[in-house]
Amino acid sequence: AYGRAAENEATKVQSGLSTLLDLIVFQDRAINARQVSIDAQVRYAAAFVELQFSSGAMGSTGIAKLDVAKVSP
């Protein structure tokens, strides 16, 4: 959503209806939203791996057998 808003704001800047500062604010929000999403995915994956390890489900091959598709929320 923020990414699209930043694109729309860029169009407004090109049309003279907005300022570069406004564009930077929208881009910053888009970057922050993406960063929060990535952080959540990393924490989820780490918790998943910790659960697999703690429960003994990782087996002797460890992370090599981890199915990445199962890690995504």
| Dist CA 30 CA 52 (whole Å) | 33
pTM over 0.85: no
Q: pLDDT by residue (tens digit) across 9-38?
A: 999 999 999 999 999 999 999 999 999 999
- Amino acid letter, residue 18: S
Q: pLDDT by residue (tens digit) across 43-70?
A: 999 998 888 888 887 765 555 555 656 6
Strand, helix or coil for residue 6: helix
Strand, helix or coil for residue 56: coil
The residues, any chain, with a CB within 8 Å of residue 4's CB and separated by 6 or more, are none
| Dist CA 34 CA 36 (whole Å) | 5
